[in-house]
Amino acid sequence: MNPNQRWTPARIYNVYRIAIACVLMLLHYAPDKPVIGADSHNLFEITLFLYLGLTLASTTLDFRHHLRAFPGWAEPASLIADLLMLTLVVHSSGGLEGGLAVLLLVTVAAGNILLRGRLGYLIAALATLSVMFEQFYFSIQTQLSSPFALTESGLLGIAFFMISVIIQQIAVRLEHSEQIARHQRVAIERLEALNEQIVQRMRTGILVFDEQQQVLMSNEAADNLFNIAMRGNKLPGALYERYQRWQGNPLLPHSTLKVSEQSPLLSPRFAQLETGHESLTLLFLEDTARVAQEAQQMNLASLGRLSATLAHEIRNPLSAINHASDLLLEGSPSEEDRQLLTIIRNHVTRVNTIIHDVLDLSRRGKGNAERFPLNRLLGQHLENWKLNATQAHISLTCGSEVEVRFDTNQLTQVIDNLIANAIKHGGEDCRIQLSCGHHDRTGLPWLRIRDNGNGISEEAARYLFEPFFTTASDGNGLGLYLCRELCHANQATLDLEDHPDGASFVITFAHPQRQFQ
């Protein structure tokens, strides 16, 4: 419960009652000659102690929430008791001429705040009757010539009712304003929750930082790009350099960057965020690989529709060509003709393979990612890889147990393809090493497939994962592209590492506890 909820009007009034009782007691006992209560010491003292005891008891019960069991009559009873006690205090202090009748004005005002409506006006009426009866009784007690001279009490009664009307109107307006503010707060909270959900579900990383480069807000996509929660951290130096360049010239295009070894290539964009009391900056981080992937997906979708249409038309003449070459080989062709027919058959087979791979790529369905120990999967398939590699030597090095989240069939397909490429380009006597572990900084699991073959040139590495790019005369350029696509579908990345001897590919997996959407 916040302080605004604890200090309700009823509790404030209870504290006021205790303060008034203590002040009256000090004015009666502190000076040598009592300032108040001189006309009737016994009545004043009894009334004052009883009033203080009641206020202390009601205040204690209110703060302990015991008065909530009696919501219908607790406040009216305490207000009526206040009117009775204060009237006796006024009477024992010389009547209305003593000046203490003004305390009844606060009680009437509090009654109209706490009770409202008819009950509030009832408190004003009871206060008027109390002062009129007190003045009438005091006149009889002091033997005044006319006990019915009730002018002063009548004016006080008018003041009581005027206060009631004014307080009631103010209370109604305040209640209406509170209701509007409550509805607006609910609407703002809903809007904030909606904005929070939209920002958190965006695939673009978003950071908000101040002039001291302190990150104040970050969405889930940004945290995933950095592999840590960025809120409360400093803006990385590479991003701060680009921010300074953007401040110098906002129209200057920004170069891409990688914030860590395992992060994808990012394209930063900045925008000012004026809040009225501080200057903040918005940073948008776009994964260029994802954008390129989406563009390639669109191209492949168009290619898939086209290939599905052309596959039948292409395969029919290919079948005819292949059948004709078989018939020619059944005769007695010359050695030169036999070589030409072999070339025809090889290219027919290659075209069929390309059509088959393109159709498989366009029909690839969604994977079924599951959490499993990577060591176990590698150990289960190691013997099969060794048998298929013939003369190649394949070794496995994994220390502690590494858990990953991936589709097991798709991961096996990726590793099969990488091992086959290593054997194809490095020779059957090449050495292939599989190793796995966790990154020191991010803790993300990784798998490395490294060989000691001829390696990959710098020029070829730039287009290595592009579809239909190949350095082999008999390749179709879809193998590595398909491997990276399968990794992306499982929230993992496939990258080529710098390695002086041969080629080295590394798969960086997503955190095994992360649920894919």
Cα 12 to Cα 57: distance, rounded to the nearest angstrom: 15
Q: What is the CATH architecture of 203-287?
A: 2-Layer Sandwich (3.30)
- What number is the average pLDDT over the span 237-246? 86
Q: Where in the chain are the domains? A: 3-184, 203-287, 291-362, 370-508
Q: What is the pLDDT of residues 215-231, one digit of tens each?
A: 988 888 888 777 788 88
Pairing between β-strand 370-373 and β-strand 266-274 as defined by DSSP bridges: unpaired
Q: What is the pLDDT of residues 93-141, one digit of tens each?
A: 777 777 788 888 888 888 888 887 788 888 888 888 888 888 777 777 6
Question: So what's the pLDDT on residue 1?
Answer: 43
Q: What is the pLDDT of residues 242-264, one digit of tens each?
A: 888 888 888 877 777 777 665 66
Task: Give yes or no for residue 3 having a pLDDT over 60.
Answer: no
Handedness of CA 113, 115, 117, 123 (dihedral sign): negative
Handedness of CA 310, 316, 322, 328 (dihedral sign): negative
The residue ranking higher by pLDDT, 338 or 50, is 50
**DSSP single-letter state for residue 96:** G
- SS3 state of residue 505: strand
Which CA distances in Å does 384 have to 62, 372, 390, 409, 434?
78, 20, 10, 14, 14
Q: What is the pLDDT of residues 180-211, one digit of tens each?
A: 999 999 998 888 888 888 877 777 888 889 88
Instruction: Give the alpha-carbon dihedral of 477, 478, 482, 484, to 10 degrees.
Output: 20
Selecting from 1.10.260, 1.10.287, 2.40.128, 3.40.630, what CATH number does the domain 291-362 have?
1.10.287
Partners of 234 in beta bridges: 214
Question: So what's the pLDDT on residue 2?
Answer: 47
Q: What is the pLDDT of residues 277-291, one digit of tens each?
A: 788 888 888 877 666
**DSSP single-letter state for residue 257:** B
Q: What is the pLDDT of residues 361-419, one digit of tens each?
A: 665 555 678 889 888 888 888 777 777 666 668 888 887 788 898 988 888 888 888 88
Q: What is the CATH architecture of 370-508?
A: 2-Layer Sandwich (3.30)
Q: Are 167 and 109 in contact (CB under 8 A)?
A: yes
- What number is the average pLDDT over the span 263-267? 75
- What number is the average pLDDT over the span 491-515? 83
Beta-sheet strands, E only, within 363-444 = 370-373, 393-398, 403-406, 431-438
Question: So what's the pLDDT on residue 506?
Answer: 92
**DSSP single-letter state for residue 339:** H
Q: What is the pLDDT of residues 26-83, one digit of tens each?
A: 887 877 777 776 677 788 788 888 888 888 887 777 666 655 545 556 778 888 888 8
Beta-sheet strands, E only, within 290-380 = 370-373
Q: What is the pLDDT of residues 423-476, one digit of tens each?
A: 877 766 788 888 999 887 777 889 999 888 778 888 888 888 887 777 766 666
Q: Are 47 and 91 in contact (CB under 8 A)?
A: no
Cα 410 to Cα 359: distance, rounded to the nearest angstrom: 17
